[in-house]
């Protein structure tokens, strides 16, 4: 509790510092932009400060060794999966992405299920090779990737300490993180900060709970001292306290965050800009999370309208089919045939529209299905 109190006090201090900066520079045109970004940071911080007071676990990301700017840039990148055996065509999921990711940006990635959010993040994380275009990385880019499937990467027979030792060896062998503490005691201390104390560092991973595994992966992530965090549904396995701790830690993280989450509270606390992955493309979403919800409301109305029109046309289509079957009069046949063609064309267009609208609406479900609104 003492630690927590001091962390809380520290954050209050930071808030005071930000407030001073804003007060001093708000009126100064040359510093207006910096002041603006601090207004945003302050806003985020004030939202999470009370959380910290309740959480019984907290951690922080370490200050990144450097902050390349841009972190990376995507140049006409298409993401997807290589051709399956026996086929020649790869499966493109999202195409023609040209975007830069800058130092300090906090990007929330929105989109309905199956639109390609994970595929995009995996490609940035180098777990997938782009199918076209290129990803140009900033010098010194150090990616920390946290995904659900990442939990399966843990070796069931190994315990947290063994995982940390392996990670330390790996990074040392790769020549990264020079000067990083690697003695067993250091690693134990590090694990201790993530509530793996005493005998728990020796508990086999296979017998750990989902939440404990997630906490271990988080620990390994922080240890790597990334400057770009790629988080794909990071909170699914986390308990409330750890979730809050993550939210606070992300808030104070000085690097760049790209976050995919259905947890609106987390998106709200962490991100201040959004990308929308939809229908094979990525577009910036011009607004905040509330705008995103609002933007979907008229869509529902349009969807209902499209449904009504479709029903009317379908009824007419059935009737025309009957007419065509029963009528012998050539004039009537021709008229019914012509009308049927029109009806079917309109139906096809409506169906397409209906699909588009439903997709857009699923995105609403995508960001509102979990996480209580703050
Ligand atoms: N190995 C694979 N080979 C071919 N297609 C795949 C592969 N893995 C995923 N896909 C397809 O790629 C598309 C995008 O999947 P992705 O996991 O990126 O979606 P998502 O936006 O993260 O969805 P969710 O919100 O459900 O996590 C889906 O249609 C999926 O079926
Ligand atoms: Mg996904």
**pLDDT tens digits, 22-44:** 776 676 666 676 677 778 778 77
Stretch 344-367: mean pLDDT: 76
What is residue 65's DSSP assignment? S
Instruction: Label residue 193 exposed, middle or buried (CB < 10 Å: 0-12, 13-18, 19+).
Output: middle
Which residue's CA is the nearest one to ligand 1's atom 16?
Answer: 116
What Cα–Cα distance (Å) separates residue 164 from each residue in 38, 123, 227, 320? Answer: 36, 25, 20, 71
Nearest CA to ligand 1 atom 29: 114
Of these ranges, 20-24, 54-58, 343-347, the one predicted with the greatest mean pLDDT is: 343-347
3-state secondary structure 139-207: CCCCEEEEEHHHHHHCCCCCCHHHHHHHHHHHHHHCCCCCCCCCCHHHHHHHHHHCCCCHHHHHCCHHH
Residue 345: exposure state from Cβ atoms within 10 A (0-12, 13-18, ≥19): exposed
Tell me if residue 209 falls in helix, strand or coil: coil
| Ligand 1 atom closest to the CA of 116, numbered from 1 | 18
Is residue 239's pLDDT more than 90? no
In short, whether 261's Cβ falls inside 6 Å of ligand 1 is no
Query: pLDDT tens digits, residue range 247-286?
Result: 889 988 989 999 999 888 888 888 888 999 988 999 877 7
pLDDT given at position 142:
94
d(CA 323, CA 337): 9
What percentage of the chain exceeds 90 in pLDDT?
38
pLDDT at residue 149 greater than cutoff 80: no
**Cα 155 from Cα 134, distance rounded (Å):** 33
116 CA from centroid of ligand 1 (Å): 5
> At CA 39, angle to CA 36 and CA 41, rounded to 5?
115
Task: Decide which of 169 and 227 is more confident.
Answer: 227
**Which ligand is nearest to the Cα of residue 276, counting in written order?**
1
Q: For residue 115, report the distance from its CA to the centre of ligand 2, in Å.
A: 8
Ligand 1 pocket member 110 (CB < 6 A)? no
Task: For residue 333, count other CB atoms closer than 10 A to its CB.
Answer: 13
Residues 6+ apart with CB under 8 A from 195: 57, 215
Per residue in 177-224, pLDDT tens? 655 667 888 899 999 999 898 888 888 877 888 788 888 889 999 999
- Collect all residues with Cβ–Cβ distance below 8 Å to 110 and sequence separation of at least 6: 117, 274, 275, 276, 277, 285, 292, 363, 366, 367
64-78, 80-94, 353-367: the lowest-pLDDT one: 353-367
Structure tokens at 316: 């007419």
Task: Return the higher-pLDDT residue of 233 and 155.
Answer: 233
For the CA of 121, the closest atom of ligand 1 is 18
CA dihedral sign, ordered 164, 169, 174, 180: positive
């Amino acid at each position: 509790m003492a630690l927590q109190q001091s962390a809380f006090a520290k954050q209050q201090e930071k808030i005071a510092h930000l407030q001073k900066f804003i007060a001093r520079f708000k009126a100064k045109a040359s510093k207006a932009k910096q002041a603006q970004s601090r207004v945003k940071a302050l806003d985020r911080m004030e939202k999470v400060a009370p959380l910290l007071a309740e959480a019984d676990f907290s951690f922080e990301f370490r200050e990144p060794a450097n902050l390349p700017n841009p972190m990376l840039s995507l140049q006409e990148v298409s993401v997807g999966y290589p051709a399956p055996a026996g086929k020649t065509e790869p499966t493109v999921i999202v195409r023609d992405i040209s975007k830069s990711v800058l130092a300090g940006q906090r990007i929330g990635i929105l989109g309905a299920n199956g639109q390609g959010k994970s595929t995009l993040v995996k490609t940035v994380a180098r777990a997938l090779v782009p199918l076209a275009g290129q990803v140009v990385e900033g010098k010194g880019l150090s990616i920390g990737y946290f995904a659900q499937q990442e939990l399966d990467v843990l070796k069931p027979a190994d315990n947290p300490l063994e995982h940390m030792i392996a990670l330390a060896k790996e990074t040392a062998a790769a020549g990264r993180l020079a000067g990083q503490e690697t003695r067993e005691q250091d690693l134990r201390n590090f694990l201790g900060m993530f509530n793996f104390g005493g005998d728990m560092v020796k508990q086999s991973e296979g017998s750990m709970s989902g939440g404990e595994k997630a906490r271990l992966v988080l620990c390994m992530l922080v240890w790597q001292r990334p400057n770009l965090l790629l988080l794909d549904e990071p909170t699914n396995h986390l308990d409330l306290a750890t979730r809050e701790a993550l939210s606070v830690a992300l808030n104070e993280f000085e690097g760049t965050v790209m976050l995919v989450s259905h947890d609106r509270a987390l998106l709200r606390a962490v991100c201040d800009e959004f990308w929308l992955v939809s229908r094979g493309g990525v577009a910036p979403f011009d607004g905040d999370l509330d705008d995103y919800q609002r933007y979907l409301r008229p869509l529902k109305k349009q969807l209902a309208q499209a449904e009504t029109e479709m029903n009317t046309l379908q009824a007419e289509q059935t009737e025309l089919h009957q007419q065509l079957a029963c009528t012998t009069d050539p004039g009537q046949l021709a008229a019914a045939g012509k009308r049927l063609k029109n009806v079917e064309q309109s139906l096809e267009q409506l169906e397409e529209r209906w699909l588009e609208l439903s997709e857009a609406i699923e995105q609403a479900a995508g960001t509102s299905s979990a996480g209580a609104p703050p």
